[in-house]
Structure 1
Amino acid sequence: MRFRLATLPASLLFAAAAAPTLAQTSVPSASSAPLDPAARAAIVGQLSTELRSRYIYPDAGEKGAAAITAAAGSGAYDRFTDLPSFARRLTDDLRGVLHDNHLGVFGETNRPALSVASIPGDEAGIVRVGRLSGGIAYLEIAGFANPRAFKPALDRAMAGLKGSRAVILDMRGNHGGDPASVSYLVSHFVPAGKRIEINRIVWRKAGTRDLTRKPFFSERTPVSFAGLPVYVLIGGHTFSGGEELAYDIQTLKLGTLVGETTGGGANPGQSFPIGHGVMAFIPTGRAESPVTGSNWEGRGVQPDLQVPDADALATALRRLGQSPAAATIEAASPVSVFTPRTVPLSGSEPMLRRLLAGRAAPEPDYTLLSADAGEPGRAALAAAHRRLQALGDPQAIHFRRPDGFGFDEFTLVYPDHTLLVAIDLDPAGKLIGLIGPDKVSP
């Protein structure tokens, strides 16, 4: 289950859970011809259908669909002849009605392209791990990757912080990720031997008003920090899964939040093809705290100690009895105690080789996906298969690095050039994503 890692080309927000989506470098290609009235009508019609069928709140989905249908009927969209502008207008109109910042419509040219080289190199979203003066542990996390990648990385990070007297978790730049990974981090602060429900995700069954709930429980961890003072740094750029971490810590009374109110996005979802080169990220679920029965959607998570987020670290350090000379972690802890791994996760390279070996087939091997991948997952695998079909056999395949999204990156070596690819698997070894191949810049 993910918060928005499945929509990697857009951002690290909430992602699809039941149906993992393979990352692509662009939305499926479409004609570059100007949008005509028939195309605009088709886009609005299909988008309205998807909203009515899938949006987590059925009545709100109907309201959003009705709003863009009425706008189209009034001629409000007649002046939009290019896809990027039309997609932005649809996004603005829907957010104006539904007030959901996860919701978005993307055209092939206004959706940020994703290349392997552009992905952050911090392993599984872990940016910095440091020991500060006074026995204070510091952990900065920009995103929560798939637990297959996140858990071993976090285990190494926490092992380096063992024996600390307090913990600071920096979520000021965290845009989300996998709730299973969020729960695993929270588990480090739950009393040992106590299993509690940390969060749950409520999903809507498409085309119905039926709901299902997926709970996330605390787990045993190699190192425990239960009972220690915990400070979570948050701000306006903390979003989605980053907010869940803060909300969980606060509602479970495991620590203190310091900084500014967060972005206010609690509705996970999935990208769906709309046609004519358009994709829509539609929230199909919502977070639900077992403590409050609610979440932070539209409100954000409120800090316990409200200060400008730039002052949050210094404030937490002063609360812990330290007198920081500067408010930056670079000044407080110039050396990280966390080193990214130098070998791929089990299964990554064999899966990559299997994809390359099967590229000559007319269709991809859909058994590589999990059974619940759905049509978006199948479409993304088909797109990846088409990209691979143009390749020859590489002379060598070398592991490059783990990255911030939980992918393992590899180089494909050819006689006259080198390509980069990134691959991600779920805990069962099934394919989640393939990015690339991209040429290595000179």
Structure 2
Amino acid sequence: MKRHLSLILVGLGMVVSSVSSAQERVKTSIVQELTRSIEQNYVQEQKIPQIVSALKALSNTDAFKTAADDQALLLLLNQELKKFDQHLSLSIVPKKDTTEKGSKQRYESWFDKLERKNFGFEKVEILPANVGLLSFWGFANVTPRSKQKVHSAMTLLEDADSIIIDLRNNGGGDATMVQLISSYFLDKPTHLNSFYSRDTGLTSEFWTVPVAGKQRPNVPIYILTSNKTFSAAEEFAYNFKHLGRATIIGEPTKGGANPWRFINLTSDMRVAMPTSMAVNPVTKSNWEGVGVIPHVKVESDLALDVAYSKALQHLRGISKDTRHLNDIELALKTLKQHH
């Protein structure tokens, strides 16, 4: 009996060992595929040796060896990848949901969500003393409907004496939407940004485009940022900062300058791979890893009040209209009472 029990235990040990070895091979294979994809596609080629070295070191750690499932492995690998690039990350390939109304994806993309939720626009408001406020959380794809939404927002703001653009919760999106919105505030053809693509070896330039509404090349602009401001939202702020077109107020932004695309590593796992790189025509550089540094650094929850106060003080210095000046003084007094 003891001999039989011993054989059973040995057999179980072999099964566990076999399962464990299979898991190790799968994990090692994923790291190998990730490394290969980074070497072939990642745009910041000077960083590749460091990333590859870090992944190799990670695969020899106890944490890597004890990662029991895909989620644990993703968490571990993403923590390492984020040290080098905020965009570079692994995720599970979304599955199709065929349980209702045919084939329907459970996963909702950033751009689908933007389209479903008013293209990201949350607030268009005229504050006391005729200061405009525009708040939105993403840069949607440019379509006839999204262009109309932008035009409607800009029409509401077209007679504001100063404009605050709130990007504190803006996670980015489409560079062509950056191009479109920027074009309302610049009347001469202006080179906004360029993107170098490792895939093609070519550089694409983004310039201002004709717009349907009134352009405001001289209206004072204040852009609000936080450590959540990311990607295309950072591009907008960075462009306007280095064109001398806006005052940036808030916190340094998140620091993701390089466009990415999904590359499947396995049938179940994919990597968001930065394959292009922003190149600003003024700085010949970008905000990758450092973020956009504001002109006025304040905690993000104070940024709106600081920007509004600065806008009012600027208008007080240039306005000639007595009634407008009275409105400005009242607004400043009200703002002061809130603090």
Report the Cα offset of residue 151 of structure 1.
2.0
1:316 paired with 2:307, answer yes
Is the contact made by 1:199 and 1:215 (CA closer than 8 Å) also made in structure 2? yes
Letter in 2 for 1:103: L
Structure 1 residues 30-78: Cα deviation after superposition (integer angstroms, max 9, x where no partner)? xxx9871221121111111100000002232243223323432566622
1:253 paired with 2:244, answer yes
Letter in 2 for 1:81: A
Report the Cα offset of residue 299 of structure 1.
0.9
Structure 1 residues 307-366: Cα deviation after superposition (integer angstroms, max 9, x where no partner)? 211111111111122427469xxx9xxxxxxxxxxxxxxxxxxxxxxxxxxxxxxxxxxx
1:232 paired with 2:223, answer yes
CA separation in 1, counterparts of 2:300 and 2:333? 16
Equivalent residue number for residue 170 of structure 1: 166
CA separation in 2, counterparts of 1:242 and 1:253? 17
Equivalent residue number for residue 93 of structure 1: 80
Letter in 1 for 2:158: K
From 128, 136, 142, the counterpart of 1:141: 136
CA separation in 1, counterparts of 2:272 and 2:180? 26
From 175, 180, 183, the counterpart of 1:184: 180
Any stretches of 5+ residues in structure 2 without a counterpart?
1-18, 95-105, 313-330
Is the contact made by 1:49 and 1:65 (CA closer than 8 Å) also made in structure 2? no
Report the Cα offset of residue 170 of structure 1.
0.5
Report the Cα offset of residue 95 of structure 1.
2.6
Letter in 2 for 1:51: I
Report the Cα offset of residue 228 of structure 1.
0.9
CA separation in 2, counterparts of 1:201 and 1:75? 40
Is the contact made by 1:186 and 1:248 (CA closer than 8 Å) also made in structure 2? no
Aligned identity (percent) is 27
Is the contact made by 1:39 and 1:276 (CA closer than 8 Å) also made in structure 2? no
Is the contact made by 1:43 and 1:276 (CA closer than 8 Å) also made in structure 2? no
| CA pair 287-324 structure 1, distance change in 2 beyond 3 A | farther
TM score, norm. by length of structure 2: 0.78
State the secondary structure of the residue aligned to 1:272.
Answer: strand
**Larger mean Cα displacement after TM superposition, 71-80 or 311-320:** 71-80
1:244 paired with 2:235, answer yes
Is the contact made by 1:236 and 1:262 (CA closer than 8 Å) also made in structure 2? yes
Equivalent residue number for residue 200 of structure 1: 194
Report the Cα offset of residue 79 of structure 1.
1.2
Any stretches of 5+ residues in structure 1 without a counterpart?
1-32, 332-442
1:217 paired with 2:207, answer yes
Equivalent residue number for residue 270 of structure 1: 261
1:80 paired with 2:67, answer yes
CA separation in 2, counterparts of 1:75 and 1:42? 17
**Larger mean Cα displacement after TM superposition, 56-65 or 38-47:** 56-65
**Larger mean Cα displacement after TM superposition, 173-182 or 54-63:** 54-63
State the secondary structure of the residue aligned to 2:189.
Answer: coil
Equivalent residue number for residue 90 of structure 2: 105
Is the contact made by 2:78 and 2:90 (CA closer than 8 Å) also made in structure 1? yes
Structure 1 residues 214-235: Cα deviation after superposition (integer angstroms, max 9, x where no partner)? 1110112222111011111111
State the secondary structure of the residue aligned to 1:129.
Answer: strand
Equivalent residue number for residue 412 of structure 1: none
Report the Cα offset of residue 115 of structure 1.
5.0
Structure 1 residues 123-168: Cα deviation after superposition (integer angstroms, max 9, x where no partner)? 2121111111111111111100111143221011111222111111
Letter in 2 for 1:153: K
Letter in 2 for 1:195: P
Structure 1 residues 256-307: Cα deviation after superposition (integer angstroms, max 9, x where no partner)? 1111111111111111111152111111111110110011111111111122
Report the Cα offset of residue 119 of structure 1.
3.7
TM score, norm. by length of structure 1: 0.60
**Structure with higher RCO (Cα < 8 A, 6+ apart):** 1
Letter in 2 for 1:179: A
Letter in 2 for 1:256: T
Is the contact made by 2:255 and 2:290 (CA closer than 8 Å) also made in structure 1? yes
Is the contact made by 1:130 and 1:137 (CA closer than 8 Å) also made in structure 2? yes
Is the contact made by 2:221 and 2:246 (CA closer than 8 Å) also made in structure 1? yes
Q: Which runs of 4+ in 1 moved over 4 A?
A: 73-76, 324-327
Is the contact made by 1:47 and 1:65 (CA closer than 8 Å) also made in structure 2? no
State the secondary structure of the residue aligned to 2:90.
Answer: strand
CA separation in 2, counterparts of 1:325 and 1:287? 42
CA separation in 1, counterparts of 2:220 and 2:333? 18
Q: Which has the larger radius of gyration?
A: 2
Report the Cα offset of residue 178 of structure 1.
0.6
Letter in 1 for 2:132: A
Structure 1 residues 94-144: Cα deviation after superposition (integer angstroms, max 9, x where no partner)? 233xx21111112369xxx6359x946532121111111111111111100
> Structure 1 or 2: larger helix share?
2
